[in-house]
Amino acid sequence: MNQKHIPIVQALQAHERKQPLSFHVPGHKYGQLQVFEQLPEFQSFLQYDVTEITGMDDFHSPEGCILEAQQLLTDLYGTRKSYFLVNGSTVGNLAMVMAVCQEGDTVLVQRNCHKSIIHALKLAKLRPVFVGTAEDERTETAGGVELETIQKAYRCYGSVKALILTYPTYYGGAASLQEIIEWAKKNGSFVLVDEAHGPHFILPKPFPESALVMGADIVVHSAHKMLPAMTMGAYLHVQSEAVPLEELEFYLQVLQSSSPSYPIMASLDIARAYLASITEADILFTVKMRDKAAALFHEKQIDTVFPDDPLKLVLRKKGYTGYELQAKLEESGIYTELADPLQVLCTFPLLKEGECEFMNQLETKLEICRLEERYMPLSSIKLPVYQEGLIELALPYRLQVHCPTEWVTLQEAAGRIAAETIIPYPPGIPFIMKGERMTARQAGVLRELLTQPIHIQGGEQLSKGKLAVFSEAQSNG
């Protein structure tokens, strides 16, 4: 297929050339209302925010430009069938879990999964067994699962409907899943992979290999994270003939908007065409620019760590927490992906050969960045590395609804069953999951995290040093 073709964009352009008069939704009428006259750039953008009118196809039952765009996506990734998602990877994670699992099924889940996976488990009323991870020693964060742990899980649990993995990690760790996927499929499980940060992994080395190539049944990509797509733009790929497409498409319709965004779909079309256009020379140039960026940071005495994904770069500065380093960079106009107590994470774009403006701007902004030397020792606190082994919820989802809760201090929380989910965001990985029994280490790290300028989702009374827990007497009864 002609991967240079961008059917949704071309359909939008053809429609705009007609200078249409809108007697249909949306209410901004292509941005032609007086309210937009003082926002010309926004007004220009709105001319492409159409709806499912004649010539623009139907997102949930495509026959025209959307169908052609998804066929090009399928061709590029070499899958059985691929889909555009307009509600982010979140909706892909929800749909893939609910499509292949039934209520009560046992599933193995990588512990450092995104919160959307946790939501899927609860909505589907599954029995999750969380698989602990080893530490990624480069970034000192949670890494991937290990084959030995997966093998132990299959020995302990006779029937596992699905293995749900996260690959790569947010920080760009991408240890091969090949043996793990083969083991899971040999034991009759579906393999579902949240590959949100790896839509570019179909490119050749030095990029890691995609889970699609390694045999995963369903893979979800956040195109907006690492490709030039708009926020909420994502892909879902089905590789296996065993996946029930009718069930999957039902959940995609249920969970996605019935009024899909055409700008998001157009950006997904553009991102697919852009990825298809990347050459070996572009890849070499991108890595060269990443290395140049690292050299520029080194001139400011900022240390760099290189994960497996060449589009990720970790920054550290002696005497600074990650939050302090991030704040200093922002003062110079450099906005990074996230900070943790130890470091800052940067994501780089895929560049075309000779595309230097991005790096020129970095060089200019770093020139005005002021980082005084510090020698004070830092706290040893860091984002949690999840314990190895297998972890089940102490209170299953079906019992949580009926169990009363109480508030305790963080000191008293160790050994109790959490009644709320605590999520440092980003990266959106639950540190404490509702229904799990908290360890003394978790309670201690949470107390320390609260001394840092970290944003946490959940924890209604965390600012008061309290956490909701389930009543043990009621849950045991």
CATH code (residue 220): 3.40.640.10
Say yes or no: 182 and 56 in one domain.
Answer: yes
Kindly report the three-state secondary structure assignment for every residue of 19-84. CCCCCCCCCCHHHCCHHHCCCHHHHHHHCCCCCCCCCCCCCCCCCCHHHHHHHHHHHHHCCCEEEE
Q: Report the distance separating Cα 66 and Cα 265, nearest Å.
A: 8
Total number of domains in the chain: 3
d(CA 350, CA 346): 13
| The two structure tokens encoding residue 472 | 């043990």
62, 191: one domain: yes
* Amino acid at position 249, single letter: E
* 333 and 428 inside one domain: no
Query: 319 and 239 share a domain?
Result: no
1 part of a folded domain? no
Judgement on whether residues 259 and 296 belong to the same structural domain of the protein = no
269 and 288 together in one domain: no
Claim to verify: residue 91 and residue 141 sit in the same structural domain: yes
Asked if residue 216 lies in contact with residue 193, where contact means CB atoms within 8 angstroms, the answer is yes
Alpha-carbon distance of 408 to 188, in angstroms, equals 43
- What is the signed CA dihedral for 417, 421, 426, 427, rounded to 10 degrees? 60
d(CA 190, CA 48): 39
Whether residue 379 lies inside any domain: the answer is: no
376 is a domain residue:
no
Spacing of C-alpha 459 from chain mean position: 22
Query: What CATH number is given to the structural domain containing 311?
Result: 3.90.1150.150
**Residue 133 · residue 110 · CB < 8 Å:** yes
Q: Confirm whether 36 is domain-assigned.
A: yes
Q: Under the phi-then-psi rule, with left for phi > 0, alpha for psi from -120 to 50, and beta for the rest, what region is 418?
A: beta
Question: Which tokens go with 155?
Answer: 């020995």
Query: Which of 236, 255, 277 marks a domain boundary?
Result: 277
Last residue within a domain, chosen from 243, 262, 277: 277
Taking the model in full, what pTM does it have?
0.95
Distance CA 351, CA 411 (A): 49
Q: Which residues contact 62 (CB under 8 A, 6 or more apart)?
A: 70
**Cβ count within 10 A of residue 119:** 15
Neighbours of 25 (CB within 10 A): 12
In a domain, 383, yes or no: no
Q: Does 381 fall in a domain?
A: no
What are the b/e assignments for 33-63, b being 16+ CB within 10 Å? eeebeeeeeebeebbbbbebeeebbebeebe
Is residue 261, in this structure, part of any structural domain at all?
A: yes
Three-state secondary structure readout of the chain? CCCCCCHHHHHHHHHHHCCCCCCCCCCCHHHCCHHHCCCHHHHHHHCCCCCCCCCCCCCCCCCCHHHHHHHHHHHHHCCCEEEEECCHHHHHHHHHHHHHCCCCCEEEEECCCCHHHHHHHHHHCCEEEEECCCEECCCCEECCCCHHHHHHHHHHCCCCCEEEEECCCCCCCCCCCHHHHHHHHHCCCEEEEECCCCCCCCCCCCCCCCCCCCCCCEEEECHHHHCCCCCCCEEEEECCCCCCHHHHHHHHHHHCCCCCCHHHHHHHHHHHHHHHHCCHHHHHHHHHHHHHHHHHHHHCCCEEECCCCCCEEEEECCCCCHHHHHHHHHHCCCCCCEECCCCEEEECCCCCCCCCHHHHHHHHHHHCCCCCCCCCCCCCCCCCCCCCCEEECCCCHHHHCCCCEEEEEHHHHCCCEECCCEEECCCCCCCECCCCECCHHHHHHHHHHCCCCCCEECCCCHHHCEEEEECHHHHHC
Are residues 228 and 164 part of one domain? yes
Give Cβ neighbours of residue 450 (< 8 Å, ≥ 6 apart): 456, 462, 465
Q: Can you tell me the distance from the alpha carbon of 294 to that of 110, in angstroms, rounded to the nearest whole number?
A: 31
From the list 52, 424, 453, the residue with the least C-alpha distance to 432 is 424
**Of 368, 387, 411, which closes a domain?**
368
Looking at residue 477, what is its pLDDT? Answer: 46
Give yes or no: residues 42 and 179 share one domain.
Answer: yes
- Cα angle 385, 307, 202 (rounded to 5 degrees) comes to 115
Q: Which tokens sit at 194? A: 């949240």
The CATH number of residue 459's host domain is 3.90.105.10
| 382: in domain | no
Query: Is residue 435 domain-shared with residue 361, that is, in the same domain?
Result: no
**pLDDT, tens digit, for every residue of 422-477?**
998 888 999 999 999 999 988 888 988 888 888 999 998 998 999 999 998 654 54
pLDDT digits (tens, 9 = 90+) for 201-233: 999 999 999 999 999 999 999 999 999 999 999
- Residue 198 belongs to domain spanning: 7-277
The reply to whether 271 and 258 lie within a common domain is: yes
Residues 262 and 296 in one domain: no
Q: Which residues of the chain have pLDDT under 50?
A: 475, 477
Q: What angle do CA 136, 141, 146 make, to 5 degrees?
A: 45
